[in-house]
Structure 1
């Protein structure tokens, strides 16, 4: 079966932004786009509302075809619980795209409960797109300082755990950068063990040794990917501290943020991780969450 870029569609502004982003991504990947409208079991709506719900996927598909000539777009409606249907659909897709609920008080995503559950359970990469996201937002400003779809793409921002690197996450970011003809900005934050803190107070020069060691570790982790994607320029950033704040800040100058989620199932369910959770909720750019073992 042909893999697709699949997007969850419910007619909201955020899902429409997700559909537009997914269409652009499908063009970059030379893949079909699948619009999936999930209808939660409920009493039958009034006739005008029911007609609007039935026609929404086909109208959205037609608009995307007009704006992206040559893109194959299919649409379907499935009855069921959204998180169950979308999680299942992700397994048959190359990429699943969902809308956020817009901008919150802190300037980032308000990720709904469905999105959180799907991200935590899906085995394939899931991309969250905020309401209002436009093609120009992914590009560098033009000479007048205005983002334009005619300029180069902004970098792909990658959160790297250099101590426990995961190939799926790193490769996803490099492949996305290659498709966009842009660079990868790799951010690695590290923390000192508690027993180091006291020793560094007496020998502060040792901190610089650790800085150099961590920076060299990041370079080592990325070396194979530089070789595999030689045309992708890489900017490395290693620093002491949590990477979540730095990733959120840098997201405003990025076309896409790529972070990982450990595949871990137990009786209490799956977990997203504190850094990924923070980036999902506060990033100014679309966020790709890539599951890894």
Structure 2
């Protein structure tokens, strides 16, 4: 049996969006979907007097609601639910050890400009080695929820560093592009020291250094072109910060 796609839910709109995205991803991969809810205080009463039975019932309700929401759109998908005990980030990371992909809703402003990310998501990313996907709430963009999930023609973008290539990253990106019949954009951002960073220096650097950087990027990606000949690969090395 293939490893599942695991999605964490907590009843928020972000987690519901994540569950719907994860269901689509499960179908694309031919993998089962496991919806989980993590509770640090499972089995114990809280300071508000909420007992363990009530907390378990509420967790079951959240899981059932998420599963029912997903089943309406994906009636043939294999869906299971599970409660996890322990701090959410650690519990989700532990579950991710047995997942092909861990999916979480995004919340809170992170250092990645404009990307919504929460403390649980950040901690889970740092504690697991499986790929982690963070999903925005579709209603907060200009794209309707269904088309945001269903559109398969959008690029897969992989940020690379020609000085520190990371094979698992490229392997994941190329496989995602291949499974979606999508274009893969390999993007490398570079700059020059701030002390010489004026308009003329940037123009000169791009003219003098740009071709060599582009050649290095192409050489590093050449083996991946051979391994994934069906993927439309576009290489782009731009002057500017990686973010």
Tell me how far 1:91 sits from its aligned partner.
Answer: 0.9
Tell me how far 1:152 sits from its aligned partner.
Answer: 4.4
| Alignment correspondent of 1:98 | 104
Q: Structure 1 residues 159, 112: CA separation in 2 closer, same or farther (over 3 Å shift)? A: same
Structure 2 distance, partners of 1:241, 1:152, is 28
Q: Does 1:85 align with 2:84?
A: no
Q: Structure 1 residues 37, 207: CA separation in 2 closer, same or farther (over 3 Å shift)? A: closer
Cα-to-partner distance string for 1:96-129 (whole Å, 9 max, x where unaligned): 011112789x983331111111111211111111
Tell me how far 1:62 sits from its aligned partner.
Answer: 2.9
Structure 1 distance, partners of 2:108, 2:228, is 34
Tell me how far 1:72 sits from its aligned partner.
Answer: 0.7
SS at structure 1 position matched to 2:81: strand
* Unpaired stretches in structure 2, ≥5 consecutive residues: 140-144
SS at structure 1 position matched to 2:99: coil
SS at structure 2 position matched to 1:212: helix
SS at structure 2 position matched to 1:101: coil
| Alignment correspondent of 1:236 | 235
Cα-to-partner distance string for 1:223-243 (whole Å, 9 max, x where unaligned): 111111111111211022212
SS at structure 2 position matched to 1:243: coil
Contact 1:14 1:102 in 2 (8 A): no
Structure 2 distance, partners of 1:243, 1:167, is 19
Q: Structure 1 residues 62, 185: CA separation in 2 closer, same or farther (over 3 Å shift)? A: same
Q: Does 1:209 align with 2:214?
A: no
| Alignment correspondent of 2:38 | 38
Structure 2 distance, partners of 1:49, 1:86, is 18
Q: TM-score, normalised by structure 2?
A: 0.83
Tell me how far 1:164 sits from its aligned partner.
Answer: 1.4
- CA RMSD after TM alignment: 2.9
Structure 2 distance, partners of 1:102, 1:112, is 5
Q: Does 1:125 align with 2:131?
A: yes
SS at structure 2 position matched to 1:35: strand
| Alignment correspondent of 1:260 | none
| Alignment correspondent of 1:182 | 182
Q: Map of 1:186-265 to 2, 5 A cutoff?
A: 186-192=186-192, 197=196, 207-244=206-243
Q: Does 1:136 align with 2:147?
A: yes
Contact 2:192 2:205 in 1 (8 A): no
| Alignment correspondent of 2:62 | 56
Contact 2:7 2:19 in 1 (8 A): yes
Q: TM-score, normalised by structure 1?
A: 0.69
Structure 2 distance, partners of 1:97, 1:75, is 14
| Alignment correspondent of 1:13 | 13
SS at structure 2 position matched to 1:215: helix
Cα-to-partner distance string for 1:116-159 (whole Å, 9 max, x where unaligned): 11111211111111123634125xxxxxxxxxx4x642111110
* Unpaired stretches in structure 1, ≥5 consecutive residues: 139-148, 245-293
